[in-house]
A and B are shown apart, each in its own frame.
Chain A
């Protein structure tokens, strides 16, 4: 899977018009200068050789040097990926917790006005583009109320603050990106939980539980919700790529120093080594997340062990 991503990215990037050497040197460069830069970037070697070389050094943790910034790509991404995992991980947990609660409330009151109102709310959230929701939150909380910072993961003075204040600063910076990403996720999760619970609620064993005289609340909580959680946890793994997609925009909006921001900037600068590495890292994160989700399914559902 990861190898497939690497190969695809590599082929696509080299097929593309636009020469990083020309971009680096600008329009005034002479042919000789271009040749020297191409040679030093190893762009003049045959494609299979470039590919093999990249794979071999990537396996050793060396992703090359960024063409645009001159920094080692490995270090750029090593700094970036924990920020992305933090943002995506927390928002995944939060949006599913909220989604399960909202979906359960909806399924419990199926067909009533509460259900309809929450349905409208969740579909609206689902339709909202993350970058726009982010901007609106910035407008409200940063410009109007002046409560929360809108950019980056830490204030300029963070290094000089005592540890407690540093944590508060980090949390304040996390608030808006996290809220944006979570709000987008909640809609889909709630919709799915509601559907899964209504599916389970129609099954005979629920009827039996009711017939035994168990209270509606108890039936919803103990019988319906627990059984509906299995497909929900499966979806959690499947929704990771989409959530990561959302994170790319959210990181770009809030200048959150994660893989998504690195990727967007690298794509705009045609910085091949960084694009390659960032794509690889995002594929790896998604694969790792899917693995976690499968383990979680086995934990929730004894039949899947």
Chain B
């Protein structure tokens, strides 16, 4: 039911196609390009080749080359591996943490809830980038650190969302009914309450993937994320920044890829929300 309903939504179709293309390009990167994303061979002879042109050795470059003569297309698809997996992992972990915290705060009221919600609101009121910078600067930069840091700063909205849902569900008749039938609290929580909160969690996770990809690129752009020569869309934009005048394509290409993927995540999130929520119309408010 739901997949068919989702597919009828134009936004979902477009974004799923874009995301599938990005994932395929990332997975099949070695097949789609014959060169090494980090290799620097004849730097002087092959640097700053314009897009759709041949370099001095007769090698074709779809998106041109950067200042070290590295093929931008190759770096783009290898960078997609890092950007996409960091985004999905970080958003997944933060959704899980948020679900846990939100459900716990919703069910155990009193002191536990007060502490959990206090921490959530506190973290929510901080500019996320300030927190990210602080955390990212503490340890040696790496892709793993980026995932940890993004997950640690991304769970709060999910927790708030789940908490609100759980609180309204707890008072509903079917929950009281199952409690009255003698079901344990844990069973009620896991079988009845949590499944009913999954819709907003899935939607916000879809949006979270896009956000995490943006922030990963941002951290890498500032030199606090994935370290060169390993390609990531963020550090590609950063290196393209220095050659904006004579090779604008180096910064433009990863930026366009970034916008397309994040856009697809956002649209997919919107479409998912409409498809999963029976009370909303296809173009709901």
Contact = CB atoms under 8 A, between A and B. Distances in A.
Given A123-B266, A129-B217, A143 B130 contact: no
B258 A17 contact: no
Contacts of A129: 214, 217-218, 221, 237, 255, 258-259, 262
Nearest to B214: A129
B248 interface: yes
B21 interface: no
A244 B135 contact: no
A13 B126 contact: no
Contacts of B214: 127, 129
Interface string B81-122: 000000000000000000000000000000000000000001
Given A242-B128, A252-B222, A264 B248 contact: no
Nearest to A140: B248
Given A123-B267, A143-B244, A245 B128 contact: yes
B244 to A, nearest CB: 5
A195 interface: yes
A245 B130 contact: yes
A191 to B, nearest CB: 9
Contact of A283 (B124, B126, B267): B126
Contacts of A171: none
B154 interface: no
Contact of B130 (A18, A138, A253, A279): A279
Contacts of A76: none
A264 B222 contact: yes
Contact of A9 (B134, B139, B223, B267): B134
A244 B126 CA distance: 9
A245 B262 contact: no
Interface string A125-145: 011110110011011000100
A124 B11 CA distance: 13
B72 interface: no
Contact of B285 (A16, A17, A199, A242): A199
| Dominant secondary structure at the B interface | helix
A41 B50 CA distance: 52
A12 B129 contact: no
Given A129-B217, A267-B224, A198 B126 contact: no
Interface string B217-230: 11001111000000
A124 B263 contact: yes
Interface residues of A, number: 49
Contacts of A12: 134-135, 138
Interface in B232-285: 237, 240-241, 244-245, 248, 251-252, 255, 258-259, 262-263, 265-267, 283, 285
A164 B138 CA distance: 45
Interface in A254-296: 263-264, 267-268, 270, 275, 279, 282-283, 286-287, 290
A234 to B, nearest CB: 14
Contact of A123 (B124, B125, B263, B285): B263
B231 interface: no
Residue of B127, B218, B224 with most partner-chain A CB within 10 A = B127
A16 B267 contact: no
B133 interface: yes
A11 to B, nearest CB: 11
B247 to A, nearest CB: 11
Interface of A: 1, 4-5, 9, 12-13, 15-18, 111, 123-124, 126-129, 131-132, 135-136, 138-139, 143, 195, 198-199, 202, 241-242, 244-246, 248-249, 252-253, 263-264, 267-268, 270, 275, 279, 282-283, 286-287, 290
Given A128-B262, A245-B128, 11 more contacts: A12-B134, A12-B138, A13-B138, A18-B138, A111-B283, A127-B259, A129-B217, A135-B251, A244-B130, A263-B133, A268-B222
19 contacts: A17-B138, A123-B266, A127-B210, A128-B259, A129-B258, A129-B259, A129-B262, A131-B218, A132-B251, A132-B258, A135-B251, A136-B251, A139-B248, A198-B285, A202-B285, A245-B128, A267-B224, A268-B222, A279-B130
